[in-house]
Amino acid sequence: MKSTKQFDWKDRVKQKEGNLVSDMGGEKVMMSIQSGKYYNLGSTGGRIWDLLAEERTLADLVEVLASEYEIDADTCHEQVVQFLEHMSREGLINIAHEG
């Protein structure tokens, strides 16, 4: 059975260079220089993007966000992984898998 799990708690994630990001009324919008695509990251996605200015583990990211948004770690993990999977597919983040 093939595993669909793309992210592990110890994986390190960081934003890639070459994206223009702007604050628009509390939500972050971004344009990829490479693809020319625009992305509306929203407020939560924008916060994740800000946190990824420095390399972080998935566990660290979930811990910070769960605390800030006052949600349980499992819910936070699920939503963060969905966001990161999208960012990964679009080539906007670097992922260093552990182990």
Listed residue (25, 48, 29) closest to 39, CA to CA: 29
Q: Tell me which of 1 and 65 has the higher pLDDT.
A: 65
In b/e form, how buried is each residue of 16-38, taking b as 16+ CB within 10 angstroms? eeebeeeeeeeebbbebeeeeee
Query: How far apart, in Å, do the first and last CA atoms of the chain sit?
Result: 20
pLDDT tens digits along 42-58: 999 999 999 999 999 99
DSSP three-state, residue 63? helix
What's the pLDDT at 2?
Answer: 38
pLDDT tens digits along 69-96: 999 999 999 999 999 999 999 999 999 9
pTM higher than 0.85 for the full model?
yes
- DSSP letter at 16 equals P
